[in-house]
């Protein structure tokens, strides 16, 4: 797949505490390799630059720039803000480290609306999937303001900007791209499910 026509930074959020997994979620073995590496591959198929936002040393071995949250304990918004702050491009794609099913084609679809909206995100059954989205760097000042106001809910944050929602039906196979993998049991079940489809 060809790279985007304009410079795009891929920002991987791996700063969560992973308390239910018991260790850094992105480094969990998923179908033979660290789960985060599937996400890196997806982003690098489209993006010109990539980085990881993490508050641990676990990801330095992957050869990408790693930055710690500027605003600590601020949830996903803090991670998105940090990524945009360090990004050198206007266009940015955010992905969580535990989204190994997302395909580059979805990222291309998000970028198709990048000139008209500040944020473009998929939604499943009316719920935004903010950790797989396009975010323009111009959102930074307002995001910092929201962080200082202790706003954390991404569903609310997105609505503060001109945004585009890419609707995906919950019954659609594409909705499985956003399956949650938060526990060792979910990790195992997803790998079994993937293998059964091969």
- Domain with 181, as residue range(s), is 8-190
Q: Does 117 fall in a domain?
A: yes
How far apart, in whole angstroms, are the C-alpha atoms of residue 39 and residue 21?
18
Q: Does 73 fall in a domain?
A: yes
> What burial class does residue 85 get, using C-beta atoms within 10 Å of its C-beta: 0-12 exposed, 13-18 middle, 19+ buried?
middle
Domain CATH number, residue 166: 3.90.550.10
Q: Would you state the pLDDT for residue 175?
A: 67
Q: Would you state the pLDDT for residue 192?
A: 39
84 annotated binding-site participant: no
Q: Does 2 fall in a domain?
A: no
25 annotated binding-site participant: yes
Q: Does 148 fall in a domain?
A: yes
Q: Does 43 fall in a domain?
A: yes
Write phi, then psi, for 155 (nearest 5 degrees).
-60, -35
98 annotated binding-site participant: yes
Q: Give the count of domains, the chain.
A: 1
pLDDT tens by residue, the chain, 198 residues: 667 678 999 999 997 554 444 457 888 888 888 999 999 999 999 999 999 999 998 999 999 999 999 999 999 999 999 999 999 999 999 999 999 999 999 999 999 999 999 999 999 988 999 999 999 999 999 999 999 999 989 999 999 999 999 998 866 667 677 776 655 555 555 553 433 333
78 annotated binding-site participant: no
Q: What is the largest CA-CA distance in the chain?
A: 47
Element spanning 96, H or E: strand 91-96
The answer to whether the pTM exceeds 0.95 is no
79 annotated binding-site participant: no
Q: Does 198 fall in a domain?
A: no
- CA 68-90-18 angle, 5° bins: 30
114 annotated binding-site participant: no
Q: Does 196 fall in a domain?
A: no
Q: Does 111 fall in a domain?
A: yes
């Amino acid at each position: 797949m060809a790279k985007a026509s304009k410079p795009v930074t891929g920002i991987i959020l791996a700063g969560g505490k992973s308390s239910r997994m018991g260790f850094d979620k992105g480094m969990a073995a998923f179908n033979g390799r660290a789960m985060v590496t599937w996400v890196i591959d997806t982003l690098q198929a489209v993006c010109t630059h990539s980085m990881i936002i993490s508050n641990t040393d676990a990801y330095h071995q992957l050869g990408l720039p790693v930055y710690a949250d500027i605003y600590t304990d601020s949830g996903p918004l803090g991670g998105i803000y940090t990524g945009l702050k360090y990004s050198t491009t206007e266009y940015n794609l955010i992905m969580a480290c535990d989204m190994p099913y997302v395909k580059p084609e979805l990222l291309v679809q998000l970028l198709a609306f990048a000139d008209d909206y500040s944020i473009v995100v998929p939604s499943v059954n009316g719920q935004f999937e903010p950790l797989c989205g396009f975010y323009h760097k111009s959102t930074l000042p307002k995001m910092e303001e929201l962080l200082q106001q202790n706003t954390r809910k991404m569903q609310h944050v997105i609505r503060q900007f001109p945004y585009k929602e890419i609707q995906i039906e919950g019954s659609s196979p594409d909705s499985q791209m956003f399956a949650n993998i938060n526990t060792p049991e979910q990790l195992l079940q997803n790998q079994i499910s993937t293998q059964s489809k091969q």
